[in-house]
Homo-oligomer: A and B are copies of this chain.
Amino acid sequence: VNPVEVIIRKRHGLELEANEIREFVHSYVNGKIPDYQMSSLLMAIYFMGLSDEEIHGFVNAYVESGEKVDLSFHPLSKIDKHSTGGVGDKTSIILAPLLASLDVVVPMISGRGLGHTGGTLDKLESIPGFRVDLSIDEFKSCLHKHNVCMIGQTSTLTPADKMIYALRDVTGTVENAGLITASILSKKIAEGAQGVVYDVKTGSGSTIKEIDEAGELAKKLLKVSAEFGHKSIAILTDMSSPLGYAIGNWLEIEECVRIMKDYPNYDHRSSDLVELTLVLGGAMLMLAGKCQSIDDGKLKCMENLANKKCYGKFVQLVEHQGGDKSFIENPDYYPKAKYVHRIKAMKDVYIKNLDAKNFGLAAVELGCGRMQVDDKIDNTAGIIIEKKDGEIIKSGETLCSLHANDETRIEKAAHLIRKAIEVSSEQPILKNKILEIID
């Protein structure tokens, strides 16, 4: 394989052979093809796209670059969930223990915050002691014992994807449905899942703004998953405004803990989050063959939230992965951010929308995310939404509060939040968060 010829063929829109893709990817991992040739190929792919066969080739090349977790020792179905990333999206924190409590194995490999979107690993690590860097053996042993384990991408799993993803991030080649599909699917195959529910988000807080593009990605994910013998369901969801009331690492864990403890009497501001969690959970149960419909699966999920089996499983998971469960049992003991700044209404109005992207950026500004790769995450920083979109707010009432340990960060965040609030004199009609279920 001559790398320049491969690049030029893709540039001309020709289809690459599986063995060309394999050799290009593996030579890149081995350092025989330099970054600049890979980035040039990736940009050509951005423009010319990848056929399903080519995506298939990338998935195989990624999986073959590392270890494949063998979960055949476990008799239960292995089902995972993947979200394309959003703001305040904390469904994984509830779904993983919930499904595990319903006799489904959830081998979940998650990511960190990226841009304005939060990351499950960062959230979990806000629980003191919680380890996400388990070895594959520790991962398997945790799954064996509790049906669930939540870790980060190890260096032995799909290292090619890890390297290429990092390169895409700095070369403007992230937004391509084919490359995204290959990246997601390879990790799911390597982690040992047999089926995956894809939460494909669209709207301002998503990395994919347009619903058509989200639909295209969802279809590609389903098609290529099926080719690998994976059962899957894709759910298109709206990410125009944040999910639930908390944005920020510990603040989001706390919101989840309160739902798991209080269900069905949880805070009404968590309603959209709970509804999405139940739909995703129902779909996961469908894939596991444990119910006849998503609605039927939702009922089973509601039951295990209400009987606290989900909460109990979460405490087990936290303990097994080294986390201090006392903060789960008593969230009030968790340290608080030093500064709280309240954004208040100037007159009586309806809240029409809270722009998710700006809320996400404001949270990063407050210290919840990284602006540079090696930035330290602030666990207690974040935003609490007091009034959700659709509600009425009276003059002088707090719309949301910004939590920070560095006072200088508040001003810029507050500016972003003020830009993010859309109001209306009439009661707005809210969009359903669940836009479409594709299977």
CA distance A35 to B37 in the complex (A): 9
Nearest-Cβ distance from residue A302 to partner chain B, whole angstroms: 43
CA distance A43 to B10 in the complex (A): 11
Give the residues in chain B near A1, CB-CB below 8 Å: none
Is the CB of A14 closer than 8 A to any CB of chain B?
Answer: no
CA distance A35 to B35 in the complex (A): 8
Binds B, one of A69-77, A165-173, A341-349: A165-173
CA distance A167 to B173 in the complex (A): 19
Closest B residue to A9 by beta carbon equals: B172
Interface size on A, residues (CB 8 A): 23
Is the CB of A435 closer than 8 A to any CB of chain B?
Answer: no
Give the residues in chain B near A167, CB-CB below 8 Å: 36
Nearest-Cβ distance from residue A37 to partner chain B, whole angstroms: 6
The contact string, 1 if C-beta is below 8 Å from chain B, for chain A 43-60, is 110110000000000000
Closest B residue to A34 by beta carbon equals: B35
Nearest-Cβ distance from residue A295 to partner chain B, whole angstroms: 41
CA distance A251 to B147 in the complex (A): 77
Is the CB of A414 closer than 8 A to any CB of chain B?
Answer: no
Give the residues in chain B near A4, CB-CB below 8 Å: 169-172
CA distance A180 to B128 in the complex (A): 57
Total copies of this chain within the assembly: 2
Give the residues in chain B near A35, CB-CB below 8 Å: 34-36
Nearest-Cβ distance from residue A372 to partner chain B, whole angstroms: 12
Nearest-Cβ distance from residue A245 to partner chain B, whole angstroms: 32
Contact A7 B40 (CB under 8 A): no
The contact string, 1 if C-beta is below 8 Å from chain B, for chain A 15-49, is 00000000000000000001111111011101100
Closest B residue to A4 by beta carbon equals: B172
Nearest-Cβ distance from residue A32 to partner chain B, whole angstroms: 13
Pick from B3, B34, B40: contact of A173, CB under 8 Å = B40
Closest B residue to A10 by beta carbon equals: B172
Contact B172 A11 (CB under 8 A): yes
Is the CB of A226 closer than 8 A to any CB of chain B?
Answer: no
Is the CB of A8 closer than 8 A to any CB of chain B?
Answer: yes
Give the residues in chain B near A170, CB-CB below 8 Å: 3-4, 36-37
Give the residues in chain B near A40, CB-CB below 8 Å: 39-40, 42-43, 171-173
Nearest-Cβ distance from residue A116 to partner chain B, whole angstroms: 15
Contact A44 B172 (CB under 8 A): yes
Name the residue among A4, A46, A172, A173 with the largest chain B CB count within 10 angstroms: A172
Nearest-Cβ distance from residue A2 to partner chain B, whole angstroms: 10
Nearest-Cβ distance from residue A168 to partner chain B, whole angstroms: 9
Closest B residue to A48 by beta carbon equals: B47
4 nearest A-B pairs in the assembled complex, by CB-CB distance = A7-B172, A43-B43, A35-B36, A40-B171
CB<8 Å pairs between A and B, sample of 6: A3-B170, A4-B170, A4-B172, A11-B46, A37-B170, A43-B43
Given A36-B36, A36-B170, A37-B39, 19 extra CB contacts under 8 A: A4-B169, A4-B170, A4-B171, A7-B171, A11-B43, A11-B46, A11-B172, A35-B36, A36-B38, A36-B167, A36-B171, A37-B171, A39-B39, A39-B43, A40-B40, A40-B42, A40-B43, A43-B43, A44-B172
- A contact set with B: CB distance below 8 Å: 3-4, 7-8, 11, 34-40, 42-44, 46-47, 167, 169-173
